[in-house]
Amino acid sequence: MIAIRTEREIDILRQANQIVAEVLAVLAALVKPGVTTQELDAVAEEMMRLRGAIPAFKGYHGYPAATCISVDEVVVHGIPGARVIRKGQIVSIDVGVQYKGYFGDAAVSVPCGPMDPQRKRLLETTDLALSRAIKAARTGNCLNDIGRAVERTCKKERFSVVRAFVGHGIGTEMHEEPQVPNFDVGNRGPVLKTGMVIALEPMVNMGTHRVKVLEDGWTAVTADGKPSAHFEHSVVVREGGGEILSATDQWIWGRREDDKA
């Protein structure tokens, strides 16, 4: 069962996701050579609590931090710690909160200073893939239209889409039905209806799509050590395409809301 949210519920989901968006904008601006991932996490948790929100990731299946900070070859679920961010690396920041009983979840990948052209193209392509996914989150479309749009966008640039992790419904739980693959699963899947709320989150690798999880049980890295990027928005299915709940007016690298409409 995929929940259809009322406009009142969607308002609260928007409030939760606006806190997420604000945190992402601040963390993105703090990415500089020499900063550690735990310094970013501390800022995020403080911002969440000041706004009356609960860090949704902390304690989730034992996850130890408020954010996931995934540097370069880390695909997702990088645990903030002593790792120092270096010039030219891709920093993927994933933030989730619980607010008034509803969840917000979004992510952005930003460059630490000047970046080589391949990495830059990976960021641009992943961001574009998310835009296309959001456009596909249109009333009457099928779930598989989302994955097909992402896969097509990435294949064209000869990047690979991660298959081991997927997007998800979001509402009164962080992870609800449906699962949202970022690739063509070969069948149409459920029809999208106005008021469904889903977190779309393409993870795209420069090399192989394969990932492995480190000893800590969380950190997912690319099997070949090549870089990866991750962008995520929580969106409501609408007639004209997905309405972004985690949108921000703050400029974040590569994120221009006029592209997302």
- Look at residue 203 and give the partner it binds from ligand MF3, Co ion, none, a contact being a CB closer than 5 to 8 Å depending on partner kind: none
Residues 6+ apart with CB under 8 A from 207: 160, 222, 224, 226
**Do the Cβ atoms of 79 and 216 come closer than 8 Å?**
yes
Residue 77 interacting partner from Co ion, ligand MF3, none (CB closer than 5 to 8 Å by kind): ligand MF3
Among 60, 155, 188, 259, binds ligand MF3 (CB under 6 A): 60
Of the candidate spans 29-37, 56-64, 181-189, 241-249, the one that interacts with ligand MF3 by CB under 6 A turns out to be 56-64
CA 233 to chain centre: 6
Residue 99 binding: pick among ligand MF3, Co ion, none (C-beta 5-8 Å cut-off by kind): none
Residue 233 interacts with ligand MF3 (CB under 6 A): yes or no? no
Which positions lie near Co ion, rule CB under 5 A?
A: 105, 199
Pick one of ligand MF3, Co ion, none as the site partner of residue 68 (Cβ within 5 to 8 A by kind): ligand MF3
Identity of the residue, 103 or 115, whose beta carbon is nearer to ligand MF3 in the bound complex:
103
> Which of these, 102, 70, 101, 37, lies nearest to 201 by C-alpha position?
70
Minimum separation from the CB atom of position 55 to ligand MF3 (A): 9
Backbone angles phi, psi at 154, to 5 degrees: -80, -40
68 lies in the site for ligand MF3, by CB under 6 A: yes
Q: Compute the distance between CA of residue 238 and CA of residue 234 in angstroms, rounded to an integer.
A: 13
Do residues 232 and 106 make contact, with C-beta atoms less than 8 angstroms apart? yes
Instruction: Report d(CA 131, CA 128) in Å as an integer.
Output: 5
Residue 127 binds: one of ligand MF3, Co ion, none (C-beta under 5 to 8 A by kind): none
Report the distance separating Cα 181 and Cα 65, nearest Å. Answer: 25
Helix (H, G, I), strand (E, B) or coil at 60: helix
Q: Which residues pair with 161 in a beta bridge?
A: 204
User: Which of residues 232 and 243 has its CB atom nearest to ligand MF3 in the complex?
Assistant: 232
Per CB under 6 A, does 94 bind ligand MF3? yes
One of 23, 40, 48, 63 touching ligand MF3 (CB under 6 A): 63
What gap in Å lies between CA 257 and CA 24, rounded to an integer?
15
Determine which residue in the list 21, 40, 47, 57 makes contact with ligand MF3, applying CB under 6 A. 57
Residues from 135 through 194 that contact ligand MF3 (CB under 6 A)? 168
Quote the tokens at residue 221.
Answer: 């890295």
Q: Does 41 bind ligand MF3 (CB under 6 A)?
A: no
Judged by CB under 6 A, which stretch of 55-63, 113-121, 147-155, 184-192 contacts ligand MF3?
55-63
Classify residue 82 as left (phi > 0), alpha (psi -120 to 50) or beta. alpha
Applying CB under 6 A, the residues found at the interface with ligand MF3 are 57, 60, 63, 68, 77, 94, 96, 105, 107, 168, 199, 232
